[in-house]
Amino acid sequence: MDSGIGLLPTAAAVRRLRPDADLVLSSDPEGMPWGPRTPADITEHALAVARAAAAHRPDALIVACNTASVHALPALRAELEPGIPVIGTVPAIKPAAAGGGSVAIWATPATTGSPYQRGLIRDFADGAAVTEVPCPGLADAVQRADEEAIDRAIAAAAALTPRDVRAVVLGCTHYELLVERIGAAVQPPGLPPVVLHGSAEAVAAQALRRIGASPAPAATPGADLTVLLSGRGSALPAEALAYAEGRLLETVDQTVDAAR
């Protein structure tokens, strides 16, 4: 679940680990963006999206959204666990800092400088120099697949990223759809490659561990994909197909919940 298509990287990671897994993708395009909402409002929207997914009786619910993980995870777990394990998303600050050198965290303006993110830096940066980089408009541009707006937002964030940064943490799941473009924007000529750290692969692996399932990438593909947009059955939105992760997911049969 996510507010929008930021769930694609994690869903694609699950698909790569378990091609035989049925997936339910539940998002809230009518309620986007979640970032400017109050914590209580974010929790209300996240619960609605989670309930739509839970109606399909999944083995686990992945909260593939940093904002919802910050504000709504306790409420989601209180309502759904232990029947449905709930796995949140945390920015990959610890592995980024472990690589040595300075680190930048690209995140939404609402998350940048927040007590939550500052706490993660304090607990997991292990003394590394960390620059928090706000990325106004980037998640919205990704959601719309607006190429010009994406380029402008990336350029603005790259201009705020110190040249000596050795790792960039992608603190919004939408940004993981832009790994190559962000990497090119932050790479200074003549310096070693800047490493980008997303959360999708680790979160997908954690979800499998929580339900006692092992990766089986050689499994026969062909599992179902159910898409819920603000609770109603749909196909993948056209914007999702602008990204490789969306096209990967489209290769499986889509089922529409006609009852919604």
Residue by residue, pLDDT tens for the chain (260 residues) are 999 999 999 999 999 999 999 999 999 999 988 878 888 999 999 999 999 999 999 999 999 999 899 889 999 999 999 999 999 999 999 999 998 899 999 999 888 888 889 999 999 998 999 999 999 999 999 999 999 999 999 999 999 999 999 999 999 999 999 999 999 999 999 888 999 999 999 999 999 999 999 998 876 666 899 999 999 999 999 999 999 999 999 875 443 333 33
187 in the same domain as 115: yes
Instruction: Compute the distance between CA of residue 129 and CA of residue 203 in angstroms, rounded to an integer.
Output: 25
143 in the same domain as 174: yes
Bridge partner residues of 234 (DSSP): 227
* Position 68 in a domain: yes
User: Cα dihedral angle (193, 197, 198, 200), rounded to 10 degrees?
Assistant: 100
Q: Could you say which of 181, 198, 215 is where a domain stops?
A: 198
97 in the same domain as 73: no
Q: Which helix (H) or strand (E) holds 107?
A: strand 102-107
Active-site residue (options: 8, 65, 97, 125)? 65
* Position 169 in a domain: yes
77 in the same domain as 159: no
194 in the same domain as 98: yes
* Position 260 in a domain: no
| pTM, full prediction | 0.91
Domain encompassing residue 30: 5-89+201-255
77 in the same domain as 37: yes
Strand 86-87 and strand 23-27: the pairing is: unpaired
Q: Could you say which of 198, 218, 239 is where a domain stops?
A: 198
Q: Give the Cα-Cα-Cα angle 225, 87, 25 (nearest 5 degrees).
A: 20
Active-site residue (options: 23, 68, 172, 196)? 172
Other C-beta atoms lying within 10 Å of the C-beta of residue 218: 7
- Dihedrals φ, ψ of 148, to 5°? -65, -40
* Position 156 in a domain: yes
Bridge partner residues of 61 (DSSP): 86
113 in the same domain as 159: yes
Q: 54-64: b or e for each residue (b if 16 or more CB lie within 10 Å)?
A: beeebebbbbb
Q: Could you say which of 183, 198, 213 is where a domain stops?
A: 198
Q: Tokens 């998350």 belong to which residue?
A: 111
* Position 77 in a domain: yes
100 in the same domain as 173: yes
Instruction: Compute the distance between CA of residue 240 and CA of residue 145 in angstroms, rounded to an integer.
Output: 8
92, 88, 96, 42: which is closest to 63 by C-alpha?
88
Bridge partner residues of 86 (DSSP): 61
188 in the same domain as 205: no
84 in the same domain as 45: yes
Instruction: Compute the distance between CA of residue 223 and CA of residue 133 in angstroms, rounded to an integer.
Output: 39
Check if 172 is active-site: yes
